[in-house]
Amino acid sequence: MSGFIITRELIKRIYTKYDAYINPLLKFIFALIILSVVNSKIGYMDRLDNIAIVLIAALLCSFMPTQVIALMTGVFMILHMYALALECALVFGVLFFLMFILYVRLVPKETMVVLITPVLYLLKIPYVMPVAVGLFGGPMSFVSLAFGVVLACFIEYVHNNATTLTSMEDGNIVGRITFVVDGLLGNRAMLAMIIVFSIVLLLVYVLRRRAIDYSWTLAVIAGSIAELVLFLICDIALNLNYSLGGIIFGSILAAGVGLFLQLFSFHLDYKRVENVQFEDDDYYYYVRAVPKVKMSATDRKVKKVQPSQSRQASRSTHSSQADRAVRHSETRSTASTARSIKTEQNAGATPAKDSQRTVHTANGASRTINR
């Protein structure tokens, strides 16, 4: 655990220092993944299903706001569907237009949720999303999840029925539109997933906001169990033919990811809770302060020792002949620089109590050494 916390602090420090470079890089990687997934699932247009085009598009997205990734993904999807059937592109375009104009325009922060949900759905692990969004988002984020699920189900439906769509007559525009819209509206599994995701998200959100010990852990575990149970109930009640192994694995994965995310953003030390009471003119305050768990990566201390002192100290401590020889060589080497620098490195973790102090020491020391 301490190793993880040290790594976390290191990552945070690196991110804070180089965020101007890391953010575009992350956007690039994300755009690359999402566009590759789209190409692999519905890559009907050969020209777009090309790694060079994907790389260029991802590079373009890396310097743009997140909404541009959504827009680019939408354009890719519409073009692929156009290559399959014009009607598919039309219905999907309307769906995407509605999502963008009615929702993303007002809440641009939720774009990532709308994008990640279909990607995880297509990778067969969408169960992570309600738990993660419940931890970091608000109660209204269920709309983003719902949009994400609708997009994913539409893509899956088109992917599964591509042969039927292409086998229909070319002039049968109405028939194709009816086929696609019926497939979307009559998808009970999609509706069940939206309802379950919304309930789980709200449950996780409500629990993690409670002023109780281990609220985030409780929220993650309760959310994952609720997800498992609700999907099983939906499966039995609506006969949806879900894979039991998939649901169980997905729920366990959701719990694992939730706990991992918790360690990164809300890791508290409940053993050192402080309850404080004070008052002002208008109120009496009952404050409960829970400290965060922090650890420093390394604790380097630089001691500057004068040559004369070092000789004196070494005379009193070293007695053996061999030690004297070593001391002699050390003294000779330091004499040229007129001082010796002794660096002590205490590897491992330092308890959180002293974290602030040690962090400062560590930073100061590393700067000294670099110079």
Partner 1 sequence: MIDENKVILMTKLAAYEQGEGKKYTSIAGYFRTDYVSSYLLGSIIAGTLAFAAVVGVYIFYSFETIMENVYETDFMALGKKVGTYYLVFMGIYLLLTYILALYRYSKAKSSLKTYYNNLKKLEKNF
Nearer CB in complex with partner 1: 146/254: 146
Nearer CB in complex with partner 1: 113/203: 113
Distance in angstroms (rounded) separating the CA atoms of residues 30 and 20: 16
**Closest distance between partner 1 and the C-beta of residue 181, in Å?**
5
Nearer CB in complex with partner 1: 181/268: 181
**Closest distance between partner 1 and the C-beta of residue 186, in Å?**
12
Nearer CB in complex with partner 1: 178/312: 178
**Pair of tokens at residue 44:** 């009907």
**Closest distance between partner 1 and the C-beta of residue 356, in Å?**
15
H helical segments located in the chain: 2-42, 51-62, 66-84, 86-99, 111-122, 128-136, 142-160, 162-167, 173-185, 188-208, 215-238, 244-265, 307-317, 321-335, 355-370
Distance in angstroms (rounded) separating the CA atoms of residues 219 and 221: 6
Nearer CB in complex with partner 1: 101/123: 101
Distances from the Cα of 158 to the Cα of 174, 188, 211, 251, 326, angstroms: 16, 16, 46, 27, 77
Nearer CB in complex with partner 1: 101/273: 101
Nearer CB in complex with partner 1: 94/369: 94
Residue range at the interface with partner 1 (CB under 8 A); choices 68-76, 172-180, 213-221, 283-291? 172-180
**Pair of tokens at residue 348:** 């491992």
Asked if 181 interacts with partner 1 (CB under 8 A), we say yes
Nearer CB in complex with partner 1: 19/344: 19
Positions in 311-370 near partner 1 (CB under 8 A):
none
Interface residue with partner 1 among 20, 167, 171, 174 (CB under 8 A) is: 174
**Closest distance between partner 1 and the C-beta of residue 101, in Å?**
4
**Ordered DSSP codes for 229-248:** HHHHHHHHHHT----HHHHH
**Closest distance between partner 1 and the C-beta of residue 143, in Å?**
10
Contact 273, 251 (CB under 8 A): no
Number of residues that bind partner 1 (CB under 8 A): 15
Site string for partner 1, 81-120 (x = CB under 8 A): ---------xx--x--xx--xx--xxx-------------
Asked if 178 interacts with partner 1 (CB under 8 A), we say yes
**Closest distance between partner 1 and the C-beta of residue 27, in Å?**
19
**Pair of tokens at residue 7:** 């790594």
Asked if 51 interacts with partner 1 (CB under 8 A), we say no
Interface residue with partner 1 among 86, 173, 221, 268 (CB under 8 A) is: 173
Distances from the Cα of 290 to the Cα of 49, 208, 211, 270, 309, angstroms: 51, 15, 11, 6, 46
The set of residues, in sequence order, having a beta carbon less than 8 Å from that of 192 and lying 6+ positions away, is: 231, 234, 238, 240
Strands 284-289 vs 274-279: parallel, antiparallel or unpaired:
antiparallel
Contact 238, 167 (CB under 8 A): no
Positions in 234-293 near partner 1 (CB under 8 A):
none
**Ordered DSSP codes for 339-351:** SEEEEEEE-S---
**Closest distance between partner 1 and the C-beta of residue 100, in Å?**
9
Residues engaged in binding partner 1 (CB under 8 A): 90-91, 94, 97-98, 101-102, 105-107, 173-174, 177-178, 181
